Structure 1
């Protein structure tokens, strides 16, 4: 059920191997093109993409992923969805262990601190995601746990 009590429409996601391959190709495009092709800004009713670099919770190594986002004032907002599969994405587990991270945008780099939105803020941001992706509730229903709405706040 969605948060408004309606049953979400059925959606399909590609097989897990395809999702992982797409992520790898996207990261490679960012590296090869220096952000020119695979990162974009959100515009109107379309989300953007950014490169998020976290510190591995077990290894201490830098780990980068490409995630969708939109801007909420000075903050960037993304979803910890793991390709709509089970479990939390590794980048979100890393941020829960160490919330300081770096993002690359088309406009350059930024230092951020991550946190999960809760309560009314989460509901407001989830509704904004719904405007960008009308199938959001259907995809979220595929996951056995709620999807975290992650706020990346600028840090000095």
Structure 2
């Protein structure tokens, strides 16, 4: 007899961002199956669910995204703060994540863009959200771009609208 598969760590209800407007946006996005909340201030957004680096529990936030080839691209700007955002630190510890784009739920594998990829991906994202350039000027840390590559081996069910 084979052992049962391990439980899905993303099955538990996620904890939303501690920042009220971001948490409200995430809940609105999720509740509407992405119909309400995908477009935010003229930019496309997705829901990112990571696993907490200490708790291993699901943590959810909304992020502006772009697409490059078959991957989704996000920026760990933290509005130009000197510290990386929690979601980025979580991804550095657990690269497996989930995203929701409109009503589509995808398993992804996250990685920081390589130095060779960074200029192209930064330009892509600054074209979508020009404030990223101001955020970079506001901090001493290099702001990473993150590649979210769909992982078709672990594809969850689609979101019902």
Normalising by the residue count of structure 2, what TM-score does the alignment of the two structures yield?
0.75
Q: Shift of the alpha carbon at 1:107?
A: 4.0
Gaps of 5+ in 2: 1-17, 153-161
Gaps of 5+ in 1: 1-18
CA contact (8 A) 1:40 1:106 kept: no
Please tell me the root mean square deviation across aligned C-alpha atoms, in Å. 2.0
Worse overlay, 69-78 or 118-127: 118-127
CA offset digits 1:117-156 (Å, max 9, x no partner):
1222111111112222334322211123110100001112
Normalising by the residue count of structure 1, what TM-score does the alignment of the two structures yield?
0.78
Q: How does 1:66-145 map to 2 (within 5 A)?
A: 66-145=62-141
Q: 2:25 maps to which residue?
A: 26
CA offset digits 1:26-72 (Å, max 9, x no partner):
1231243232211249xxxx641000111111011111111110111
Q: C-alpha separation between the residues in 2 aligned to 1:68 and 1:134?
A: 12
